[in-house]
A and B are shown apart, each in its own frame.
Chain A
Amino acid sequence: MMTAFIVFTVAAAGTYLIRLSGIALLGGDRELSPRVRKALSLVAPAAMAAIIANSLFLDGGQWRAFGAWHLAAAVAVGVALWKRSMGWTLSAGAAVFAALLLAGL
């Protein structure tokens, strides 16, 4: 518990410094270099895909048995590409997952 509290607190301080970085250091004629800008723009897709792969395909370090998780996630990805909408993706993914669980998968 104490570890979690410390981790959240330190992560909070670091995150605040990140949030403040550009506002405090840039402005005027100083700008981010295109290379840094591009790397930062790739953080979100890379980090989120890493979390998705880890939580979807693995379970406690082992492969997750194929089932409702994979199928519902596939539907969610399809809806996300089709509708380009977070709300639709969440609703469709949750509905399919619930239906699959009810069906005993």
Chain B
Amino acid sequence: MPGAVVFGLAFGALISEVGLPLWLAPYASSTVTAGASQIAIVEALRQGAPALIAIATALVINARLALYSAAMAPIFAAFPRRWKAVLAYLMTDQSAAVSAFEAHRWPDPVRRRWFILGVSGPFVAIWIAGTAAGAILGPVIPDAWQIGFIVPLMFIAVMVPAIRSWPAVAAAGIAATVVLILKDLPYGLNVLIGALVGIAIASFVPDRAAPGGSAEPGRSPEPGPEGGQS
């Protein structure tokens, strides 16, 4: 939960730093509601990327939500359609992880859906509020503070503790290397291509031997990624 506040503040501050109108910060957070992709969009736009590339980058980053959605399918199975629609909107890295681990304690579908709403709703509300606060505070932060450092720091804090398999290590290493090799590509295309190449090659790395944990990758939502859903 504190992660959502800090991440939200950071995104809001970033919006104001790159000179976009401040209302876009809470707008993005309440519609996209996925922090990493929102930051990636801002970075792409800052580099003058065409809209299509910015959107594609965001959707590639958010493709991981499809995994959570698949994990939620059996948990949400008995819910009415409008509940599924709302809970899908509120799905974040954190709420998917908590729902996957705790939902079995609520076998009754009515109680279960309220439980999941209670888990997901506050995250999103805090994310939006934090973003708005960041957008308001952003202009008062002096340039000398180099607030831009929050971008790599945030992602290090989210990604490194969550890496628990060799394929994940490979995906990260390959993606980072490709991004740097392709640094002269325009429009932040190096980020999009780096991520795709990392995913493609690492898919062939065998799953065995997980450093620092025995979690099987992909079996359930990785607990704890992304302080504010991204």
Q: A residues within 8 Å of B by Cβ? A: 1, 3-12, 14-16, 18-28, 31-32, 34-35, 37-58, 60-63, 68-69, 72-73, 76-77, 80-81, 83-87, 89-90, 93-94, 97, 101
Contact = CB atoms under 8 A, between A and B. Distances in A.
Nearest to A93: B153
Interface residues of B, number: 104
Interface in B78-108: 84-85, 87-89, 91, 93
Contacts of A31: 70
Contacts of A93: 153, 156-157
Interface of B: 2-3, 6, 20-21, 24, 27-28, 31-34, 36-41, 43, 45, 47, 51, 54-55, 58-74, 76-77, 84-85, 87-89, 91, 93, 144-146, 148-149, 151-163, 167-169, 171-180, 183-184, 188, 190-192, 194-196, 198-200, 202-203, 207, 212, 217-218, 222, 224-227
A58 B190 CA distance: 11
Nearest to B146: A101
6 contacts: A16-B89, A27-B74, A50-B179, A50-B192, A50-B195, A85-B161
Chain A, interface SS category: helix
A16 B149 CA distance: 29
- Which one of B153, B172, B202, B217 has the highest number of Cβ atoms from chain A below 10 Å of its Cβ? B153
Contacts of A18: 59, 62-63, 65-66, 69
A26 B71 CA distance: 9
A45 B63 CA distance: 12
A50 B157 CA distance: 14
Given A15-B65, A37-B218, A42-B171, A51 B36 contact: yes
Contacts of A76: 153, 156-157, 160
Nearest to B30: A12
A18 B207 CA distance: 25
Contact of A81 (B77, B160, B174): B160
A84 B159 CA distance: 10
Contacts of B148: 55
Contacts of A85: 161
B175 A26 contact: no
A57 B6 CA distance: 23
Contact of B159 (A11, A14, A52, A90): A52
A96 B28 CA distance: 30
Contact of A43 (B77, B173, B195): B195
A34 B216 CA distance: 12
A45 B20 CA distance: 28
Contacts of A57: 180
Contact of B63 (A40, A51, A62, A86): A40
